[in-house]
Amino acid sequence: MRRLWRDERGISYALTALLFTFVVLPLMLLSMQLGRMVSTKHALQNAADAAAEAAVAMVDVDHFRSTGDIVLTGNVYPTAQYYASRTFAPLGAKGVSPRVTGIWVDEATNTVRVAVEARVSALFGVPVTVHAQGAARVRAFYR
């Protein structure tokens, strides 16, 4: 029996199994989670830009031309949310959906900014929220 315990043949299989279980597998899961976050961030940035363009389309152009002040008209939030969701549709099929969290006007640069966020289901049990911000400039052409 002592000779069986002292025999070291096959120990490399056990060490390799431990290495894969406690090092390689968690690193693979972490890289998958980071890849999902990066692709979500990219799609969310596109959705934020589309929502900002939709919000700029809701600017009262006549008021902007006469005063230089930006006034949003209509239902800006639902319109921005609609365009963000439509742009985000490929990831929406996977259960991830964007949410417009804020729309504000920057009078100094004549831009409308839109903040969007989405929750990504986590592989490790902790949900991750990804944020993006889009901006669109107000332009009024004079004839």
pLDDT(52) > 90: yes
Q: What is the pLDDT of residues 81-139, one digit of tens each?
A: 999 999 988 887 778 889 999 999 999 999 999 999 998 877 677 788 999 999 999 98
> How many angstroms separate the CA atoms of 51 and 45, rounded?
10
Check: CB of residue 132 under 8 Å from CB of residue 47: yes
**Residue 114: other Cβ atoms inside 10 A:** 30
Check: CB of residue 113 under 8 Å from CB of residue 134: yes
CA dihedral over 67, 73, 77, 81, signed as positive or negative: negative
Q: Which residues pair with 117 in a beta bridge?
A: 99, 131
The SS3 of residue 140 is coil
Half-sphere exposure of 2 (CA within 13 A, CB side): 0
- From 116, 114, 109, select the one nearest 70 (Cα to Cα): 109
Task: Tell me what the pLDDT averaged over the chain comes to.
Answer: 88
Predicted TM-score (pTM) of the model is 0.80
Please state the domain extents for the chain: 9-137
